[in-house]
Structure formats: C-alpha cells, structure tokens
Amino acid sequence: MTLEFMDKLEATVDALAIDDTVRAVVFTSEGDGNFSVGMNLKQMRDGIAAKGSIDGVFDQRWRVLEKIERMGKPSVVTLFGYCLGGGLELPLACHFRLAAEEGAQIGLPEMDLGTVPAWGGLARLPRCVGRDHALDMILRGKKVSGPEALRIGLVNEVWPKSELKHRAISLAEELASMPRLAVKSVLDAVIGYEAKSLQESLSDERSAVHANARTADAKEGMMAFIEKRKPVFNQAGTD
C-alpha cells in the first residue's frame, strides 16, 4: 500500500461515501495471489517528507480506515494469500470479512520488525477476536489460516479461494438490497459501541427506530409481510 495508493484510496472512499447509487462496497485486490502485505516500508522516508512527519503518514492511514468503518455503507473484504500488517488492518475496518479456505496467511507481524502495528491493529484486533487471541497473534507475530481466522471470530465466512470474490460480491449485493436508511442507522448505532455505555447504545437504538418508523422502505416491508411476498427496498423516488 504505497503513498500513491493511499491517496487514491482516500479519494475513492470519499467519493463512495457521498454516492447515493452505491449501497455496499467490496474491497479486494487484483489477481489471486495476495490481498496485501501492507505498507511499502521503503517509502517511509518519502512519506515523512511528503506528509511532514511520521505522524502525518499514519494519520492519513488511520483517517482512511475510519472513513471506511463509518461511511454508513456496509463493506465486504476478501482475505487471501498474504494479509499482513496494513493488509489486515484495512480488513479490520470493514464490516464483513471473508477468507480463503486455503493459502491465507493473516497476521500483524510488526513484532518481527521490532515495532508494533500502527494502523489501528492494536485497537481493532482485540475488539474483534478478544484480548487473548489478539495478544497471541501480535506478540508472537502469528499468522493464522482462513479456517483458524473463522474459529477465533476474525472472519465471518470461509470459502474456497476460487469462489471467494464471487461470494464477496454476492454478499454485497444482498446487503445493497436492504433498506438503505435502516442499514445506515444500524451501522451508525453499532460501530464504536465498545466506547459507549448501555444507555448510550439504547438511546442510539431509539433514535434509529424513530428515523426509520415512517420511511417508504418500512411501509414496503410491512406491506410485503402482510401480502406474504419478498419486499423490494430502495425503489426510485421512495427515499
């Protein structure tokens, strides 16, 4: 993930966030070799010069991942081959993670370089898999397979590598068919719940209920239930 790539990724995420025709996003990589080995460390000196400081380099990466996490649209990511460092930290900011059944090596190996994860891995991985699994992976530089990632709760599903991208698109299409405002309301309420009290989360839920109570999609869902048919959400002119 070069400096140029991160600039393009941030611009793309910004555009996706405001594009009402986009209701779900898939993150994958070209080909079938690896998802990503993270940052191009050879560019660190150039990055510091371009961004003004090492904090400037990492600030952008934190900012982009938070934008993905909070853009109000569900994101699906594929993990196959090497998914290391930033190649895991980006997926940790996504809402659905799918891994290859074979060949995946998923981890945060920064300890092997004498340093620590720097793109939110220390914060997000424990929230995803729990403290014990996170410490096991980070302190030992441990790489886990797709099936192991599923066992510890790091990914939602495991698929044969040949089917992985197709499944990611299929899942994104399913999510995109859900009522847009309701999906955004759920994401806004659930993302970051760890930092909220129960009462704050319940208040967020009540706000979501009120925001969705009288929408066209809510009416469509109720009518479809009464008429015993599948609802058709996000119809043109019904928002």
| 185 and 160, same domain (yes or no) | no
| 102 and 20, same domain (yes or no) | yes
Full domain range(s) for residue 132? 3-176
Is 24 part of a structural domain of the chain? yes
pLDDT of residue 236: 64
Is 160 part of a structural domain of the chain? yes
Average pLDDT over residues 22-38: 96
| 139 and 211, same domain (yes or no) | no
**Do strands 75-79 and 96-100 pair parallel, antiparallel, or not at all (unpaired)?**
parallel
| 130 and 151, same domain (yes or no) | yes
Distances (CA, A) of 227 to 46, 180, 222, 223: 62, 22, 9, 6
| 96 and 119, same domain (yes or no) | yes
User: Does the annotation mark 69 as catalytic?
Assistant: no
| 221 and 193, same domain (yes or no) | yes
Number of domains in the chain: 2
pLDDT of residue 75: 98
3-state secondary structure of 153: coil
| 16 and 98, same domain (yes or no) | yes
Q: What is the pLDDT of residues 186-208, one digit of tens each?
A: 999 999 888 888 888 889 888 88
Average pLDDT over residues 51-75: 91
Cα of 196 vs its chain's centroid, Å = 20
Which residue in 39, 163, 38 sits closest to 106, CA to CA? 38
| 151 and 115, same domain (yes or no) | yes
Cα gap 225→106, rounded to integer Å: 42
Q: What is the pLDDT of residues 126-157, one digit of tens each?
A: 999 999 999 999 999 999 999 999 999 999 99
Degrees, nearest 5: CA angle 63-38-50: 55
Is 198 part of a structural domain of the chain? yes
Q: Which of the residues 101, 102, 110, 163 is marked catalytic?
A: 110
Which residue in 192, 166, 217, 158 sits closest to 23, CA to CA? 217
User: Does the annotation mark 110 as catalytic?
Assistant: yes
| 30 and 144, same domain (yes or no) | yes
Whether residue 237 has pLDDT greater than 70: no
Q: Which of the residues 30, 66, 89, 220 is marked catalytic?
A: 89
Which residue in 50, 55, 34 sits closest to 118, CA to CA? 55
**Is the distance from CB of 128 to CB of 94 less than 8 angstroms?**
no
| 17 and 75, same domain (yes or no) | yes
